[in-house]
Structure 1
Amino acid sequence: MKNKIGLGLIGCGLRGTGYFTTLRYKDFNFQVVALADVSERNLKSANAKYADNTAKMYKTGDELVKDSSVDAVIVATPNKFHRDPAIAVMNSGFPMLLEKPIATSLEDLTAIWSSSQQSQAKVVVGFTLRYTPFYQTIKNIIQKGVLGQILTINAEEMMSDRLSMIFCRSQWRHDCNLTGGLLLEKCCHDVDILNWISDSKAVKVSSFANRSFLTPGKVPKRSCDKCPEKKICRFSREKLLSSFYDNVTETKTDLNHLYSELINNECPYHIGTPYPDHQSLLISYENGVLCTFNVIQAQPANRRTIHILGSEARLYGVIDDNCFTIFHRTGPNNEKPEVIRVDCDSYGHNGGDPVLATDFIDLINGKQNPSRPGIKEGIESAIICLIGDKSAETRQSIELTEYRNQVFADTNISRSAVIAKPLAVN
């Protein structure tokens, strides 16, 4: 019997190697035995940091899955390139942690679903929010019937200036063709939370998106490093990096490395990215639940909020505060607040990363988890995001049945159905 789990990683960027950091933090007995990436720099960096230069290095996932020392694989390439390595891993029979979103097109979602059904692979999708004590506690409260019948859910993600600039200036996330769009890249695990809490199938989406703040005309067009306002501009690279220099941890050092590589010569007002700087998504579910979700860039701080309204009570919370309030019905026009504070590990995604890492090890060891998000949950979330962008582009509400049937290979639906494209805002 092997003493350590042999892990392989396909895609050795910040998120992929971050899983190794989290597994170390949880003190799991594993060894990084194989790495695959198109970047020799990424390969050598990950090998030195996580394997003492003992891991085998490959250019492709197809090569890595042939390595006999591998027991399980993490796939964390840029979003557009998830399909081929994910299929290779599933067809090779390895347990897999597949980073979200699982794919960027309906065509790729279809291929991944087909492979998962043929291989019966063991997969967990990296929906970290589902693993946070905050949302786990809320889910338990709903299941106990405290809120009564769920009627509506309103949620928001606010992106700080610093986070917003990743979608303007980073090495690949600035390109919506690689990410699949803002909703898919940034918010697919928020959508998974809505699906999970609603406990139903989404049947229709409508979305509106604009880029009306980070636009030309706000400031003269200049390169950032030559701009006379760079000392005071909230979006200057110098300003964004300065807040990372205090209280540095290993994770923050990695983030600092990410921000240090931002393309720094273009002004965010003129950079021409197709991402919206704010977008609203409306989802109608089969059981009658209605959801609204807003994502907004250029906010004072990163924050996620949720407001769930039921027939007996409502709940409002902020994950960043690890706190929510239940407003209980006390009369025909009265409510009484009950504040609930959630204990959680402060590490990674509000404590979600360590729990996800634990569930990945449980998956490898054959343990079941009824709340574990797999390929089906990943597809449901991705369809909503992709068709949400299509709705914003066409300015029409869209039924999801045709697209869901296409992906899940319903024989009555033509495979030639339209493939949704990432939203581009002019």
Structure 2
Amino acid sequence: MRLGVIGYGERIRHMIGEIIKLHPAAHVAAIVDIRQDVIREERLRNGEDNVSYFASADEMLQSGKIDAVLIGTRCSLHTTMALKVMKKGLPLFMEKPVATTPEDLHLLKQGYEQTKSGVIVSFPLRLTSLVQLVKEIVDSGKLGTIEHVQAVNNVPYGNVYFQNWYRDEQETQGLFLQKATHDFDYINAVVGLRPTVVSAMVSKQIFKGDKPAGLKCVDCEENRTCLESTAFSDEATQKAWPYCCFAVDTGNEDSGSALVRYESGMHLSYSQNFFARRGAAARGARFLGYKGTVEFDFYTGIVKVFMHHTDRIETYELSASNDHFGGDKALAQNFIDMVTGGAPSLSTLDDGLMSAFMCLAAKRSSETGVFQSLDWSNKLV
């Protein structure tokens, strides 16, 4: 399996590693990346010298040297590169979000409707053992039909969105697209319903200030007292999170909430926060039916079922894993099966398009104070 990579970033490297573990015959055959000289030197040091490097995605796709493609570029290029790959009909693995603007979203939808490419979107949470167990419980009917969902994501590493390149809001287009896209997707997968309307609100109360644009922690006079300072951290941390998060150019909201109505009339309340720390970390949801409720949290690995009309409480404890509770492994196996045997995607571009639509609509609602329809005729302009 000859893999072509557009954007050889950290996340895609991890997924390639998962693919090769499961299918040792797979290998990186071609790379397109603006850092190709650095990448070439690094791979040579590791004894990996059997890669062709191309100046553009078009050249790589025309080379005939690849069987499948993985896209790991910055978010704003996901749509552009995916459209190029889909025109060639090659199997595609692409990072989320699948689009960062309403215009790209509709272009990608049109392109997908005309392609023969199989596409897997990097949504590992829907395939985790936790979410799969919750879906099994919901689908069993023991809770009754799900009539309300309460979800939360309190991110303990939220400084990443204010102290490195993620602070560029023109690139990220806000944190619904960067984080909620995963949560909306797994919730959609569990309830199996189509979302129809979204409203949202965001706040920026903590990570703001009057420090100069581009200020780095090492150059700040307050770096010994600032709780977010990385000036005295190890070299890797300083390199990963170099910037002041209390400067005029931090970008991104630091909390946000959304309400989503689904086709049955039930609704979801979702909230995310980026200044919670340590024990305040939480990521999971409650799915409530008339007969019972199931709840889970990714950080604890615990699933609980509360039966509403008896004293019974069921508790499941799943072993923690550093690959999204098995989600990454499942994505990798699905990609292998798609490339080698034409298996259907378990995390489709349709799923990715709907999640991105929800996030972009939530962003638009937070800007206008207006409920946004999730009908595809809504261009979000």
TM-score by length of 1: 0.82
**Match of 2:202, SS?**
strand
Change (3 A) 1:126 1:222: closer
Which residue in the other structure is 1:395 paired with? 369
Per-residue CA deviations over 1:79-112 (Å, capped at 9, x if unaligned) read 1011221111111121000111111112112222
Which residue in the other structure is 1:353 paired with? 328
Identity %: 25
Distance 1:364 1:95 in 2: 6
Change (3 A) 1:391 1:226: same
Which residue in the other structure is 1:77 paired with? 73
Which residue in the other structure is 2:316 paired with? 340
Change (3 A) 1:226 1:35: closer
Change (3 A) 1:262 1:152: same
Q: Does 1:213 align with 2:222?
A: no
State the AA in 2 paired with 1:375. L
Distance 1:177 1:262 in 2: 20
Mapped contact 2:361–2:380 kept (Cα < 8 A): no
1:28 is displaced (CA, Å) by 3.5
Which residue in the other structure is 1:181 paired with? 174
Change (3 A) 1:238 1:45: farther
Distance 1:49 1:308 in 2: 49
Matches within 5 A, 1:13-412: 13-26=9-22, 28-41=24-37, 43-44=39-40, 47-48=43-44, 52-160=48-156, 163-170=157-164, 172-216=165-209, 224-227=217-220, 229-238=222-231, 241=233, 257=236, 259-262=237-240, 264=242, 266-301=243-278, 302-331=281-310, 335-343=311-319, 346-369=321-344, 372-401=346-375, 404-405=376-377
1:291 is displaced (CA, Å) by 0.4
Mapped contact 2:143–2:292 kept (Cα < 8 A): yes
State the AA in 2 paired with 1:261. K
Unaligned runs of 5+ in 1: 243-255, 407-416, 420-426
Mapped contact 1:32–1:51 kept (Cα < 8 A): no
1:143 is displaced (CA, Å) by 0.8
Mapped contact 2:143–2:293 kept (Cα < 8 A): yes
Deviates more, 1:268-277 or 1:291-300: 268-277
State the AA in 1 paired with 2:283. R
Which residue in the other structure is 2:7 paired with? 11
Per-residue CA deviations over 1:227-277 (Å, capped at 9, x if unaligned) read 4553453311146x55xxxxxxxxxxxxx85x443462x431224323111
1:41 is displaced (CA, Å) by 4.3
Per-residue CA deviations over 1:12-71 (Å, capped at 9, x if unaligned) read 111122212222443542111000012234542564477712200112211111222201
Mapped contact 1:198–1:289 kept (Cα < 8 A): no
Distance 2:120 2:47 in 1: 24
Matched positions, count = 377
1:203 is displaced (CA, Å) by 0.9
Change (3 A) 1:323 1:76: same
State the AA in 1 paired with 2:349. I
Change (3 A) 1:57 1:303: farther
Distance 1:292 1:376 in 2: 23
**Match of 2:306, SS?**
strand
1:285 is displaced (CA, Å) by 0.3
Mapped contact 2:161–2:167 kept (Cα < 8 A): yes
State the AA in 1 paired with 2:227. R
Distance 2:46 2:259 in 1: 42
Mapped contact 1:347–1:354 kept (Cα < 8 A): no
1:308 is displaced (CA, Å) by 1.2
1:356 is displaced (CA, Å) by 0.9
RMSD of equivalent CA atoms: 2.4
**Match of 2:3, SS?**
strand
Mapped contact 2:218–2:231 kept (Cα < 8 A): no
State the AA in 2 paired with 1:210. S
**Match of 1:382, SS?**
helix
Change (3 A) 1:294 1:80: same
Distance 1:50 1:363 in 2: 29
